């Protein structure tokens, strides 16, 4: 499989598949394909996601979670787009290497990559304390290539052991499995006495790679 | 007439009009102009009553804005993308997706082309393309990036409905149901796409305009 980024405003990923080669993508990303490319449906269950996990996603209200992925099978070209402005990244994962990609940013993965949606954190909506929000991610384990797209520009960091950083929750794009993630809400010191919104941030603890996005 | 494209994120088409030269567009696309430019609302009566009725069915406004030189006038779709300027020779015809035409010179004939749907509920009950016939110059705005292809006779590609930006009139377009895998479930979850067949030019856009509008509301 060969993947290339085309365009810079709303990038598309041109995937060239040899005979029998396949790529998995969330549904609705196809821009065009050659007629030779076959299209199949792969349920999360068939990809190894447990039934109990699927029921948990549903119970926790993972509204945007897909219960199947679309599989394109070569030979031929297929082009994928997330319909959002930003940068795309094509990342090879080594065997056993695991990353978590914020939900809604995965563009594609090779079938050799193990896929599993995961709930990273639950936290209060800073604008409505009665509402619970959830940070979902796609957990991906190599070997194989994954493709993702950030909204806006993608900023990469490599955290050393013990090093940490704080980020707004929507800015989170990708983290290595070794990176600890906690979402916390705090009220910053406010000498004016005027009521302000609480600050909800994701705390990221090294070691590992972190990618953030500049748009939401 | 001279048309320059400026900007690389939300680009504008900047037209320099000689005295008496005229371009037209939908209302709401002008960004700025010289005081010497004369804007005017004009009824689009090309093709007579049948032409007007067909265009109205196709969602094209009855009134267009014309801008007559001398001077500069700039147009934008106010969304991220790329602008392409195309010279149409006499009787050369292209079909442009809705909400993508930025401007056309006064000599360009404006009509609609209907593409039948698959009969499913939704936008694929059929849709209209803007049909533009030369001679003259047009500028189109592609949402996101523009990908250009030249199909040989009989060559085909299958594309998402929102990806089509422009095609030559010689390129055939037909909607079809793309099953999502095999079996009854695959057919039940099928989605509608377009089958295009050459010969001719096809321009695709990487951002579905309906998505672009949803995110900028």
- Residues B148-162 have a mean pLDDT of 95
Q: For residue B217, what pLDDT band results from cuts at 50, 70 and 90?
A: very low
B160-211: pLDDT as tens digits: 989 999 999 999 999 998 888 888 888 888 888 999 999 999 999 999 888 7
Task: Give me the CATH number covering residue B208.
Answer: 3.60.160.10
pLDDT of res. B200: 97
Other CB atoms within 10 A of residue B3 CB:
20
Of A28, A31, A39, the CB nearest to B206: A31
Question: Is the pLDDT at B114 greater than 80, yes or no?
Answer: yes
Answer whether B65's CB lies under 8 Å from B75's CB: no
Q: How many structural domains is chain B composed of?
A: 1
Contacts of A79 in chain B (CB under 8 A): 147
Task: Give me the CATH number covering residue A206.
Answer: 3.60.160.10
Q: How many structural domains is chain A composed of?
A: 1
Nearest CA of chain B to the CA of A143: how many Å? 25
Residue B153 domain boundaries: 2-216
Residue A132 domain boundaries: 2-213
* Tens of pLDDT, residue by residue, chain A (216 residues): 999 999 989 999 999 999 999 999 999 999 999 999 999 999 888 888 877 777 776 666 655 556 789 999 999 999 999 988 889 999 999 999 999 999 999 999 999 999 988 889 888 877 777 888 888 899 999 999 999 999 989 999 999 999 999 998 999 999 999 999 999 887 777 777 776 777 888 999 999 999 999 987
CA dihedral in degrees (A136, A141, A146, A151; nearest 10)?
A: 20
Cα(A55)–Cα(B145) distance, rounded to whole angstroms? 39
Q: Report the Cα A200 to chain-centroid distance in Å.
A: 20
pLDDT of res. A211: 96
Contacts of B143 in chain A (CB under 8 A): 10
Chains A & B: contacts with CB separation below 8 Å: 87
Other CB atoms within 10 A of residue B46 CB:
13
Q: Between the CA of residue B105 and those of A57, A84, B180, what are the distances in Å?
A: 55, 32, 43
Find the chain A residues whose C-beta atoms sit closer than 8 A to any C-beta of B.
Answer: 6-12, 27-28, 30-35, 39-42, 70-71, 79, 81, 83-85
Contacts of B163 in chain A (CB under 8 A): 31-32, 81
pLDDT of res. B216: 45
* Structural element, H or E, at residue B209: helix B209-216
- Residues B9-34 have a mean pLDDT of 92
């Amino acid at each position: 499989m060969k993947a290339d980024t085309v365009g810079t405003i709303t990038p598309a990923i041109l995937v060239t598949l040899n005979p029998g080669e396949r790529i998995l993508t969330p549904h609705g990303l196809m821009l065009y394909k050659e007629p030779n490319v076959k299209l199949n449906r792969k349920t999360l269950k068939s990809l190894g996601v447990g039934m109990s996990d699927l029921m948990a996603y549903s119970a926790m209200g993972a509204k945007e979670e897909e219960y199947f992925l679309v599989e394109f099978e070569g030979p031929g070209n297929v082009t994928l787009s997330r319909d959002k402005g930003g940068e795309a990244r094509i990342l090879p994962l080594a065997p056993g290497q695991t990353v978590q990609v914020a939900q809604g940013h995965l563009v594609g993965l090779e079938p050799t990559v193990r896929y599993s949606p995961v709930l990273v954190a639950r936290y209060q909506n800073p604008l409505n304390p009665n509402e619970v929000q959830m940070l979902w991610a796609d957990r991906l384990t190599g070997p194989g290539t994954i493709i993702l797209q950030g909204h806006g520009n993608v900023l990469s960091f490599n955290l050393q052991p013990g090093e940490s950083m704080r980020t707004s929750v929507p800015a989170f794009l990708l983290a290595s499995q070794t990176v600890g993630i906690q979402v916390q809400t705090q009220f910053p010191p406010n000498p004016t006495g005027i009521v302000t919104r609480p600050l909800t941030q994701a705390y990221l603890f090294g070691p590992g790679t972190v990618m953030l996005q500049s748009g939401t | 007439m001279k048309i320059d494209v400026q900007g690389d994120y939300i680009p504008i088409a900047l037209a320099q009009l000689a005295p008496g030269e005229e371009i037209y567009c939908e209302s709401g696309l002008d960004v700025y102009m010289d005081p010497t430019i004369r804007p005017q609302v004009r009824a689009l009566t090309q093709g007579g009553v049948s032409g007007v009725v067909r265009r109205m069915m196709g969602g094209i406004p009855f009134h267009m804005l014309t801008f007559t030189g001398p001077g500069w006038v700039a147009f934008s779709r106010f969304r991220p993308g790329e602008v392409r300027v195309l010279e149409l020779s006499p009787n050369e015809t292209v079909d442009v997706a809705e909400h993508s035409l930025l401007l056309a010179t006064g000599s360009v004939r404006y009509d609609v082309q209907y593409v039948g749907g698959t009969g499913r509920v939704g936008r694929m009950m059929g849709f209209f393309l803007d049909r533009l016939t030369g001679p003259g110059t047009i500028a189109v705005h592609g949402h996101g990036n523009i990908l250009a292809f030249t199909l040989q006779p009989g060559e085909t590609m299958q594309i998402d409905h929102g990806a089509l930006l422009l095609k030559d009139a010689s390129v055939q377009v037909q909607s079809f149901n793309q099953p999502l895998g095999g079996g009854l479930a695959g057919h039940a979850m099928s989605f509608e796409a377009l089958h295009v067949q050459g010969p001719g030019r096809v321009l695709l856009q990487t951002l579905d305009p309906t998505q672009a509008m949803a995110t900028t509301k």
